[in-house]
């Protein structure tokens, strides 16, 4: 028997700069900074670092960053949520219908405030209900997450189409635009929403029993059951939270577009998966940090804005996203790291 001096110790909780740079998050931070610098140098006339561009970026990324948070939770349990866009649009349409039918675009003052509050409640309710449906399909009926969320995603988008006939819902009170376009002390409201949600998810994952159970369940569902983790409750709550986050993203998208439609944000599904994979969230479950996700979001937004200034088309951006996803997977070597 070995002597006690070798016995494992709890790690010291201090910051080690050298180790950080070599960690996955550290590497990503370096990449993010490099992309920022490269774009600042490449974009003509220093436009990339202009206040206008920085602010416009801060308005752009929160909507898909919030969707990526929703995707991240599903991935941490070892699943995936292909229905996030469907949930975002369906819940946004619910909110839009409340707004346009209740008081109409002319509502001001207290009426508008009430209308907006009701709309937010309606959208969150739809998002949470949709998440519950996912959780039940996966946790209770035992469908593989890909199939379950493929099916529910089609249903959510389908319902959105069926309700609206496929056209956009418009006519919101001006107050509603604050969610997507407003700023508090110069900080864009969508950015504040994302920052709060990201911090909340990070706290939930690291500081609550539920968050740790999510990661344990994602690592080995069978061992989690044997360790007394209530797998059904954890799965349900994860997908419910994921649905709620998607609904918030839907509200931001709707407010920025000043309309709600069944097919908004179609390219965000790939983007949210890309962000997760780039941010080091293991697609097989169990591992991932919000910090990584935030860095991935920033680097993609820098890249996207920079390419935009370099007159690169939207289609080319799609190409670059795809190439990046493949490249990151190859570099991270997820295939070899599979533990189960």
Partner 1 sequence: MPDTRQAPFVEITGVSKSYAGVTALSDVGFTIAPGEVVCLAGENGSGKSTLIKVLSGVVRPDRGGVAIDGASDRVQSPRDAIAAGIQVIFQDFSLFPNLSVAENVAFSAELSEGRRLVRRSQMRAIAAEAFERVGVAIDLERRVDTLSVADKQLVAICRALASKARLIVMDEPTTALTEREVRSLLAIIRRLSADGVAVLFVSHKLAEIFEVCEKIVVLRNGAKVAEGPAGDFDLAGLAFHMTGRTFAEAAPAALPAGRPVVLEVERLNRGDLLHDVSLSLRSGEVLGITGLLGSGRTALAKALFGLLPLDSGRIAVDGRDVALGSPRDAIAAGIGYVPEDRLTEGLFLSQSIARNIAVGRLDAHRAGAGFIDRSSLDREVSDWITQLRIVAPDAEAPVQSLSGGNQQRVVLARWLATAPKVLVLNGPTVGVDIGSKADIHAVVARLSADGMGVIVISDDLPEVLGTCHRILVMKAGRIVDEVAGGSLSEGDLARKLAA
Partner 2 sequence: MPKLDLTRNETLVALVVVAFCAVTAIVQPNFLSLPTLFDLLRGSIVIGIFAIGVLLVLISGGIDVSFTAIAAFAMYTTTLTLTSLGIDIPWPAAFALSILIGTGLGLLNAVFIAGFRLPTLIVTLGTLSLIRGFLLTFVGSQLISNMPPSLREFSRLIMVRGTTADGYFYSLPWAFAALVAVVIGTWFLLYRTMLGRTIFAIGGSVESARRIGIPVRGAQVFVYAYVGALSGLAGIIHASLARVANPFDLVGLELSVIAAVVLGGARLAGGYGTITGTLLGVALIVLVNNSLILLGIPSTWQMVVIGALILVGTGVPAYQAKRAALRAG
Q: List residues binding partner 1 (CB under 8 A).
A: 1-2, 4, 6-11, 207-210, 212-213, 215-216, 219-220, 222-230, 286-287, 339
Which C-beta is closer to partner 2: that of 180 or that of 221? Answer: 221
Which C-beta is closer to partner 1: that of 242 or that of 259? Answer: 242
Q: Using the rule CB under 8 A, is 313 a contact of partner 2? A: yes
Long-range contacts of 25-34 (CB under 8 A, 24+ apart): 25/280, 25/289, 25/291, 25/292, 25/295, 28/278, 28/279, 28/280, 28/292, 28/295, 28/296, 28/299, 29/295, 31/295, 31/299, 32/295, 32/298, 32/299, 32/302
Residue 166 beta carbon to partner 2: minimum distance, rounded to whole angstroms:
6
Which C-beta is closer to partner 1: that of 108 or that of 209? Answer: 209
Which of 223, 323, 339, 340 touches partner 2 by CB under 8 A? 323
Q: Which does 184 bind (CB under 5 to 8 A by kind): partner 2, partner 1, none?
A: none
Output the CA torsion 276→278→284→286 (10° steps).
-70
Tokens 């990339």 sit at which residue? 48
DSSP 244-310: HHHHHHHHHHHHHHTSB-TTTTTTHHHHHHHHHHHTT--TTSS---HHHHHHHHHHHHHHHHHHHHT
Q: Using the rule CB under 8 A, is 311 a contact of partner 2? A: no
State the greatest distance between any 2 C-alpha atoms of the chain, in Å, as a whole number: 79
Determine the Cα–Cα distance for residues 209 and 74; give it in Å rounded to an integer: 17
Q: Using the rule CB under 8 A, is 226 a contact of partner 2? A: no
DSSP 148-176: HHHHHHHHHHHHHHHHHTTSPB----GGG
Residues 250-289 that bind partner 2 (CB under 8 A): 270, 273-274, 277, 283-284
Encoded tokens for 284? 């097989």
Tokens 């407003």 sit at which residue? 182
Determine the Cα–Cα distance for residues 267 and 242; give it in Å rounded to an integer: 18
Tokens 């898909």 sit at which residue? 64
Q: Which does 287 bind (CB under 5 to 8 A by kind): partner 1, partner 2, none?
A: partner 1
CA distances (Å), 17 to each of 27, 29, 30, in order? 12, 12, 13
Q: Using the rule CB under 8 A, is 232 a contact of partner 2? A: no
Q: Using the rule CB under 8 A, is 161 a contact of partner 2? A: yes
Which C-beta is closer to partner 1: that of 6 or that of 311? Answer: 6
Q: Which does 4 bind (CB under 5 to 8 A by kind): partner 2, partner 1, none?
A: partner 1
Residue 338 beta carbon to partner 1: minimum distance, rounded to whole angstroms:
9
Which C-beta is closer to partner 1: that of 230 or that of 318? Answer: 230
Residue 23 beta carbon to partner 2: minimum distance, rounded to whole angstroms:
22
Q: Using the rule CB under 8 A, is 64 a contact of partner 2? A: no
Determine the Cα–Cα distance for residues 91 and 237; give it in Å rounded to an integer: 18
Q: Which does 277 bind (CB under 5 to 8 A by kind): partner 2, partner 1, none?
A: partner 2
Q: Using the rule CB under 8 A, is 326 a contact of partner 2? A: yes
Q: Using the rule CB under 8 A, is 146 a contact of partner 2? A: yes
Which of 144, 187, 310, 339 touches partner 2 by CB under 8 A? 144
Q: Which does 289 bind (CB under 5 to 8 A by kind): partner 1, partner 2, none?
A: none
- Nearest partner of 258 among 146, 172, 192, 320, judged by Cα: 172
Residues forming contacts to partner 2 in the complex (CB under 8 A) are 80, 137, 140-144, 146-148, 150-159, 161-162, 165-166, 270, 273-274, 277, 283-284, 313, 315-323, 325-326, 329-330, 333-336
């Amino acid at each position: 028997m070995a002597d006690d001096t070798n016995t494992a110790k709890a790690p010291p909780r201090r910051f080690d700069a050298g180790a950080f740079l070599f960690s996955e998050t550290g590497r990503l931070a370096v990449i993010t900074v490099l992309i920022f610098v490269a774009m600042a140098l490449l974009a003509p006339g220093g436009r990339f670092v202009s206040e206008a561009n920085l602010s416009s970026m801060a308005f752009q990324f929160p909507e898909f960053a919030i969707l990526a948070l929703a995707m991240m939770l599903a991935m941490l349990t070892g699943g995936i949520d292909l229905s996030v866009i469907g949930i975002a649009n369906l819940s946004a349409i619910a909110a839009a219908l409340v707004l346009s039918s209740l008081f109409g675009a002319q509502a001001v003052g207290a009426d508008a405030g009430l209308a907006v509050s009701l709309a937010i409640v309606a959208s969150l309710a739809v998002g949470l209900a949709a998440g519950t449906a996912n959780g039940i399909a996966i946790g209770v009926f035992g469908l593989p997450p890909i199939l379950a969320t493929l099916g529910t995603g089609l249903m959510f988008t389908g319902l959105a189409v069926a309700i609206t006939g496929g056209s956009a819902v418009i006519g919101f009170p001006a107050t509603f635009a604050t969610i997507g376009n407003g700023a508090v002390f110069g900080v864009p409201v969508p950015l504040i929403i994302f920052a709060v949600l990201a911090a909340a998810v990070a706290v939930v994952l690291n500081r609550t029993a539920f968050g740790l159970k999510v990661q344990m369940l994602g690592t080995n569902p069978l061992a989690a059951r044997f360790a007394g983790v209530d797998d059904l409750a954890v799965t349900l709550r994860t997908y419910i939270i994921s649905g709620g986050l998607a609904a918030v993203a839907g509200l931001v998208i709707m407010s920025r577009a000043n309309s709600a439609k069944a097919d908004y944000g179609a390219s965000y599904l790939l983007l949210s998966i890309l962000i997760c994979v780039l941010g080091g969230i293991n697609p097989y479950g169990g591992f991932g940090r919000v910090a990584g996700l935030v860095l991935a979001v920033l680097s993609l937004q820098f890249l996207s804005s920079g390419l935009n200034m370099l007159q690169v088309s939207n289609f080319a951006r799609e190409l670059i996203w795809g190439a990046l996803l493949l490249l990151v997977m190859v570099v991270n070597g997820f295939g070899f790291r599979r533990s189960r």
